[in-house]
Amino acid sequence: MARIQDFDGMQYCRDGTAAEKQDYAYFNQQYATSTYEIDHNMCPNLIVQPKRDEDVIQTVNWARDNKVAIAIKSGGHQYSGASSTSGKNIQVDLSNTYKDLMVLDTQDPTGQDKALVYVGVSNQIKDFNAYLKHNQLFVPTGQCAYVCVGGHGQTGGYGQLGRSFGLFGDHIRIIRMVCHDGIIRDISKSKDPELFYAILGGSPGNFGIITHYIVEVYQAKSYLGTVSGPNGFKGPHGIKGLWIYSPEILKSLLTAVAQMADDSNVPRGFDLCVSLLSIDFPITILFPTLKNAGEWERIQDKIKGALADQFLEWLNGSFPAVIVLYAQWCPTSKDDKYDETVDEWFNKFRNLKGFFKNETLIIHELEEDMSQMTGRWIFPKQREFDLPYVKRTYSTNSRTLEKDGWVDDVVGRIDLIYNPHHFLHSNPGDKEYEVFTHCKLSVQIQCYGGENSRFYLNKDNGTSYSWRDSSVVQTLDCFHDPGVKYKQYAERWQAKNDSIMVGPSSSFSKQDRRLLWGSYGDWDLGKREIWEYYYEDADKYQKLGKARDKADPNGTFTANPFAVLAFATSDV
């Protein structure tokens, strides 16, 4: 039975006693277990939970000497299960090892509107965000509260501030990492540009064990509007909206997304995301005001007014499928003012109330600084639904989404699963009824593009995150009841989506462009036909491969196929 000597933290063995196996089964759970535990063989020989640096160093030295590979897990949110491994390999579980948070007391080298924060990889986004808020600071991140900074820095941190401020990873200045030789190094763009480039966007988990990042963040006080405009707003301003699902409302909102994506001159300060959640989502965690009994009653009346009695009976108190809107404007320069143009943009969303009286449940206007506003966009739940999933995240650089009919295409696909019509007008056994009652969707569609977008303008900042010319990233995740039959429903739905969202005649993207944070399908980044989805060209792949070869000469950090091939052995 494998064990690391002189190791202070806990170790859980796959093949221990019955009691040890129980523990192992408990700690071997992560996001992708529901879907890939068997397919991607997510069963390391040993799970180790280091207490401090010495344990991590001991693990790296032990693994290298025993020719064993290490999968690194911080938050365990990699969708393909890449923070796990199998065979004789081990998993380093850092979920509790590095929770440090500190604003660094520097001689202010970053200017008055920034600060440097030392952050341990085991911090979840929600805790990092709360700490920044406490200090009136902010930085862009993705939306899932439980994702850890460890993986998030390497895969980017795509989220609501993408256009206005770029990716989380764009703000990392120093990476503290335990390297293959057991030595801790501080990696920066100036000291080691190749490795810095490769870690931030190249091949997560395959260069060493990162313990901390130093991140450059923004002072909220430097991003406040100064002049009152329409409605007395100065900005930053936001709308967080909630609607009962209807294809017409979705069409209106996604038309706003398409128009924004197609117009490359949209100023930097605007960010827009449309999400959807299926029936049964505990909506009060996204909209806490619904915990108020009077507010809840008001909303229930609207739901009763909008949905058929027979459907309400079936819902039996569960919340119906909903559309959620995140719209934000932040003044990013002294000249930015909350004026008529900004107000008009928000009016697109406010005005839906007039057309869809019952379906419009909440339109919250947010007028607060960015350290408070960023927390509003975080999704405070471990997983959307406690079910297996078939995932898709597509990105595009199209600037003709509206003209090409993408809105109708994507609404048509979503409607197949969301519309209560399938329940009301078909019967148990009918395909429509079965898919409606056994599949759930989580959708997230976000604008990133334009000449003024920081996501785009950060393209040459020394990181390797791919597809910086993306205008929109859309995630369509289909959760399904357990079982082969229901998995097939989800797979068929996604296969059809693939044929619509990608290809020469697609209204969304001519090219299959995937993101490491939203991986799906074949996960072997050694195959050319697969890595071409994730990286722009062979030059980039080779550059990453060279950095891999140098950083991981013994294969210690190559624990599964979701890794760029070390260049010396690659065939590109």
Ligand X SMILES: Cc1cc2nc3c(=O)[nH]c(=O)nc-3n(C[C@H](O)[C@H](O)[C@H](O)COP(=O)(O)OP(=O)(O)OC[C@H]3O[C@@H](n4cnc5c(N)ncnc54)[C@H](O)[C@@H]3O)c2cc1C
d(CA 120, CA 149): 7
Asked if 551 is part of the footprint of ligand X (rule: CB under 6 A), the reply reads no
Residue 44 structure tokens: 């390391």
- Residue choice 9, 44, 140, 157 for contact with ligand X (CB under 6 A): 157
Q: Minimum distance from CB of 74 to ligand X (Å)?
A: 3
Phi, psi of 73 (to 5 degrees): -125, 130
Q: Which is nearer to ligand X, 345 or 385 (CB)?
A: 385
Number of residues that bind ligand X (CB under 6 A): 34
**Per-residue string for binding with ligand X, 195-224, x by CB under 6 A?**
---------xx---xx--------------
Q: Give the burial string for 403-440 (b: 16+ CB within 10 Å, else e).
A: ebebbebbbebbbbbbbbebbeebeeeeebbbbbbbbb
Q: Which helix (H) or strand (E) holds 188?
A: strand 184-188
Token readout for 58 is 């001991």
Residues 504-523 within binding reach of ligand X (CB under 6 A): 517
Residue 564: CB minimum distance to ligand X, A: 12
Binding mask 83-122 for ligand X (x = CB under 6 A): x----------x--------------------------x-
80 binds ligand X (CB under 6 A): no
Nearest CB to ligand X, comparing residues 188 and 222: 188
Cβ proximity to ligand X: between 369 and 384 the closer is: 384
Beta strands in 189-307, from DSSP E residues, in sequence order: 209-219, 237-244, 270-277
78 binds ligand X (CB under 6 A): yes
Q: What is the x/- site pattern for ligand X, positions 451-480, by CB under 6 A?
A: ------------------------------
Q: Which of residues 332-391 bind ligand X (CB under 6 A)?
A: 383
Using alpha carbons only, how large is the chain's radius of gyration in Å? 24
Q: DSSP string covering 331-374, please?
A: --STT----HHHHHHHHHHHTHHHH-TTTEEEEEEEES-HHHHH
Our separate counts of H helices and E strands in the chain read 21, 18
The residue (of 446 and 507) whose beta carbon lies closer to ligand X is 446
Q: Considering the rule CB under 6 A, would residue 57 count as an interface residue with ligand X?
A: no
Complex with ligand X: residue 27 or 311, whichever CB lies closer: 27
Cα(219)–Cα(108) distance, integer angstroms: 12
Q: Which of 155, 371, 395, 464 binds ligand X (CB under 6 A)?
A: 155
Q: At 276, phi and psi to the nearest 5?
A: -135, 145
Binding site for ligand X (CB under 6 A): 31, 71-79, 82-83, 94, 121, 142-144, 147-148, 150-152, 154-159, 204-205, 209-210, 383, 517
